[in-house]
A and B are shown apart, each in its own frame.
Chain A
Amino acid sequence: MAKEIPYQKVVDTVAKLCIDANCLIGDDIINAFKNGLKIEESPTGKEILNQLIENAEIAKREMIPACQDTGFAVVFLELGSGVKITGGELFDAINAGVAKGYKEGYLRKSIVADPLRRKNTGDNTPAVIHTEIVPGDNLKITVAPKGGGSENMSEVKMLTPAAGAEGIKNFVVDRVLRSKANPCPPIIVGVGIGGTFEKVCYLAKKALLREIGSVHPDPFYAEMEKDLLERINKTGIGPQGFGGRVTALAVFIETYPCHIASMPCAVNINCHAARHKTAIL
């Protein structure tokens, strides 16, 4: 027997997740700012980190967005095969929830209906929805609003196997170097490796959902994440690009099997406001 979840429950959950993600900066990020204060050598860099901590406190206290760019609503679904949505379609419920959350939470509407004719849709819909069908009877919803400034600094490259780990690392560090101050450092770097052209971008985006401080389960990639973070923090870009040690708070890697001829790599850069909230229905 399928577990039934009412349409309106999905709408209300998504609306709340949109608001919470934008107003409540995660404790892992605030801790990362505080740890950054210990290693940052630049006085301006320290001042920036302090401002970001204060900014997160104001946003939480007053339930206002931490950043005015409240993003594209990127929604990750893990849909249990035993779940049935009653009273409407799942994707309609997600979009209705985004519209409700962005209206009731005083979030900015940043989506235009057509990439060239650019008329604002007025309610921040449609969401970008990624769905995985999983065993079980739960619906896990993660809302991850994504800002435009850092998204514009992201890139995919179809590397070949000969490039090896060093080729991957050089591409990632070079992408950060070329981004300089634009993605609002300190940044979080999502790296996808493997799969196909489209899959690798999804991996890089999904990598951004990890909690700062978490260690990759595969020691090989855990080491690569550590090495990349060290190299990125030697670039000197620093908080806001004004120069300093804390350029990135974390590097997260997601991988997938790939073709014998290929080694795609995607870098998805997130600003310091790495916003994501999850609910399980």
Chain B
Amino acid sequence: MPVKKITTPLTDATVKDLKAGDSVLITGIIYTGRDSAHKRLVETLQKGEKLPVDLKGQIIYYVGPAPAKPGYPIGPAGPTTSERMDPYTPTLLAYGMKGMIGKGNRSTEVIEALKKYTGVYFAAVGGAAALIAKRIKKCETVAYEDLGPEAIMKLEVFDFPVVVVNDCYGNDLYEEGMKKYRQI
């Protein structure tokens, strides 16, 4: 299967080249964020204030890693369910965030926002956390440290394996993949 290699931050041209079903390897900086961090990011934007990290062109990875063993940059770090971030996502895409990594279906609003603002939603393999952590070279908390495992971290990743689920053309791998193999 052909694999596309991309680097962050993402440009519109890179996003437009990605299609639902593509296997992709990401290299560069990505940021972590989940429920509480999203709430704060969106509240900050709504107040017209500056974000603690500039998310323009960036990818947010929905993850709450396990603690790192001594000698490891990070603990096991697989994706968490994305739909919990759906209410906040269109605001972040409108701001200029380009991509997200998680698992599971997104809302119609998110899929529409990906088309409108040229964004992409990737899935990483849920439960393959030990394997995924091997592709994370460095990890540093950069905002909301008080949130503990929900703080925003900056990750340096190398050939981080994901699959495109929702592209900027409105395609959805979950819908299409299931239709292709459905027998009932």
Contacts and interface: CB of A to CB of B under 8 A. Distances in A.
Interface string B60-83: 000111111100100111101101
B21 A52 contact: no
Contacts of A235: 178, 182, 184
Given A58-B130, A62-B130, A234-B182, A68 B76 contact: yes
B13 interface: no
Contacts of B178: 180, 235-238, 241, 243
Interface in A43-73: 43-44, 47-48, 51-52, 54-55, 58-59, 62, 64-70
A108 B150 CA distance: 12
B77 A240 contact: no
Contacts of B128: 51-52, 54-55
A267 B14 CA distance: 42
Interface string A201-242: 000000000000000000000000000000100111110111
Contact of B103 (A52, A62, A240): A240
Q: Which of A148, A149, A180, A245 counts the most chain B CB atoms within 10 A?
A: A149
Contacts of B69: 62, 64, 106
Contacts of B174: 180-181, 241-243
B130 A242 contact: no
A44 B162 CA distance: 11
A106 B181 CA distance: 39
B177 A182 contact: no
A237 B148 CA distance: 34
B126 interface: yes
A240 B126 contact: yes
Query: Is chain A's binding surface mostly helix, strand, loop or mixed?
Result: loop
Contact of B177 (A59, A69, A244): A244
Interface string B1-28: 1000000000000000000010100000
Given A120-B148, A242-B173, A271-B126, A234 B183 contact: yes
Interface in B67-115: 67-69, 72, 75-78, 80-81, 83, 103-105
A107 B66 contact: yes
A41 to B, nearest CB: 7
A152 interface: yes
B57 to A, nearest CB: 26
Interface residues of A, number: 49
Nearest to B67: A106
Interface in B107-132: 123, 125-131
B183 A236 contact: yes
A79 interface: no
A31 to B, nearest CB: 17
Interface in B160-184: 161, 163, 173-174, 176-184
A269 interface: no
A272 interface: yes
Contact of A243 (B65, B126, B177): B177
A42 interface: yes
Contacts of A244: 177, 181
A235 B181 CA distance: 7
Given A108-B66, A234-B182, A58 B134 contact: yes
A184 B181 contact: no
B37 to A, nearest CB: 14
Contacts of A47: 1, 23
Given A52-B127, A69-B80, A272-B127, A182 B180 contact: no
18 contacts: A42-B180, A47-B23, A54-B131, A55-B127, A59-B76, A65-B66, A67-B127, A68-B75, A69-B80, A106-B68, A120-B149, A149-B80, A173-B184, A184-B103, A240-B103, A242-B163, A244-B181, A271-B126
Report, nearest first, the 5 A-B pairs whose CB atoms are least far apart. Answer: A243-B177, A236-B182, A184-B126, A236-B181, A234-B183
Interface of A: 41-44, 47-48, 51-52, 54-55, 58-59, 62, 64-70, 106-110, 120, 148-149, 152, 173, 180-182, 184, 231, 234-238, 240-245, 271-273
